[in-house]
């Protein structure tokens, strides 16, 4: 009888030790949301890497100083999705409206040129709330070198939180539209993805296209894009790929191409192309009004 009890005790002890050793060697469970967030960062990180290189900076001559007297909006504070405060240049609709245009800066930051562009869209669109988000949390670059430094230190997760916070600030019943240039063109498209069913129309000027098919298939609004055939970021080949992917995803994308270089729609850019800018702007306003 004692021998049987000793044997039983040994079996229980061995099982306990094996169980403890198994638990010790197990890794923590991977959080699904963290994996998705990592995948969502792929395009943004690719842009960050590219924009941190001198060759990219060479596409961006230092912007000209613009006269920004009598701006229509004011700086406001809102809460980003990470719980921290964020800033935006905001112009409320003259009459109460659930239409919100989120404007996203170039890689220079939220400078006077972006505020003036926001004023222009506000004036020409009518009753719409215009919110130009500050993706750099108050920092603005005036030279390619300083812009490159800002990009090298950019936190793409923070920028995603700023866009998400702007969408939430607009409200669950808001119709979300977006427009952006270069860096902002990429984020304008990302805004359409992040806004889900609230997204109603997106304008992107020579922004880096999204390549993840799952994200493209999630888009629930029409997109209009303006690109330069002399641009290398994105290059015509990247734009062609974007068109192909959007068609495969079953989404509506209108691509407009101009014999112009990068930054052709920025009046403060020395390579500004007035004719291309005028045509693109007319089409952008028509697109937004139609939606």
Report pLDDT for 44.
74
- Phi, psi (5° rounding) for residue 76? -130, 165
Q: What band does 64 get if pLDDT is binned at 50, 70 and 90?
A: low
CB 221 within 8 A of CB 194: no
Secondary element (H or E) of residue 273: none
Query: Could you tell me which of 223, 233, 205 has the C-alpha nearest to residue 46?
Result: 233
Structural domain boundaries in the chain: 39-290
Q: Which two tokens stand for residue 289?
A: 């009004």
Q: Please name every residue paired with 204 in a beta bridge, in sequence order, or none if there are none.
A: 180, 225
Residue whose token pair is 């900076």:
57
| Pairwise CA distance, residues 229 & 46, whole Å | 21
Q: For the chain, what is the mean pLDDT?
A: 85
What is the model's pLDDT at position 187? 97
In what helix (H) or strand (E) does residue 151 lie, and over which residues does it extend? Answer: helix 144-152
Instruction: Find, among 172, 173, 55, 188, the residue nearest to 117 by Cα.
Output: 188
Mean pLDDT of 259-278: 88
Residue range 39-290 forms a domain whose CATH class is alpha beta
CA dihedral 136, 75, 83, 104 (to 10 degrees): -50
Region 77-98: mean pLDDT is: 97
Q: Are the beta carbons of 128 and 99 closer than 8 angstroms?
A: yes
Mean pLDDT, residues 262-276: 87
Q: Would the pLDDT of 185 be above 60?
A: yes
Whether the pLDDT of residue 23 is over 80: the answer is no
For residues 5 and 111, what is the distance between their CA atoms, to the nearest angstrom? Answer: 81
C-alpha distance from residue 49 to each of 62, 147, 154, 184, 288 (Å): 20, 13, 10, 16, 32
C-alpha torsion sign, points 85, 90, 92, 97: negative
- Residue-wise pLDDT for 97-147, tens only, equals 999 999 999 989 999 999 999 999 999 999 999 999 999 999 999 998 998
Q: Is pLDDT of 291 > 80?
A: yes
Percentage of the chain exceeding pLDDT 70: 80
Tally: H helices and E strands in the chain: 11, 8
The pLDDT tens digits for 213-255 are 999 999 999 999 999 999 888 999 999 999 999 999 999 999 9
Over 50: is that where the pLDDT of 282 sits?
yes
H or E segment to which residue 113 belongs:
helix 112-125
Torsion, CA 66, CA 72, CA 74, CA 76, rounded to 10: -110
């Amino acid at each position: 009888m004692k021998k049987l009890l000793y044997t039983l005790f040994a079996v229980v002890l061995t099982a306990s030790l094996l169980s403890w050793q198994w638990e010790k060697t197990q890794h923590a469970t991977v959080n699904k949301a963290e994996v998705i967030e990592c995948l969502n960062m792929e395009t943004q990180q690719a842009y960050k890497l590219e924009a941190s290189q001198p060759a990219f900076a060479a596409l961006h001559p230092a912007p000209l100083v613009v006269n920004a007297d009598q701006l229509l909006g004011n700086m406001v504070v809102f809460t980003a999705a990470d719980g921290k405060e964020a800033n935006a240049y905001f112009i409320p609709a003259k009459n109460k409206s659930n239409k919100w245009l989120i404007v996203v800066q170039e890689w220079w930051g939220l400078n006077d040129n972006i505020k003036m562009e926001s004023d222009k869209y506000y004036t020409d669109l009518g009753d719409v709330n215009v919110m130009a988000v500050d993706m750099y949390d108050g920092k603005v670059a005036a030279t390619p070198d300083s812009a490159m430094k800002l990009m090298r230190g950019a936190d793409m997760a923070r920028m995603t939180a700023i866009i998400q916070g702007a969408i939430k600030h607009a409200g669950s019943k808001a119709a979300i539209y977006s427009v952006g240039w270069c860096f902002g063109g990429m984020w304008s498209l990302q805004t359409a993805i992040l806004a889900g069913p609230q997204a109603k129309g997106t304008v992107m000027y020579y922004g880096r296209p999204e390549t993840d098919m799952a994200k493209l298939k999630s888009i629930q609004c029409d997109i209009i894009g303006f690109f330069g055939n002399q641009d290398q970021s994105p290059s015509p080949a990247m734009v062609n790929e974007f068109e192909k992917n959007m068609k495969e995803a079953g989404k509506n994308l209108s691509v407009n191409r101009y014999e112009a270089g990068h930054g052709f729609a920025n009046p403060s850019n020395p390579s500004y192309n007035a004719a291309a800018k005028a045509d693109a702007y007319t089409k952008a306003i028509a697109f937004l009004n139609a939606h």
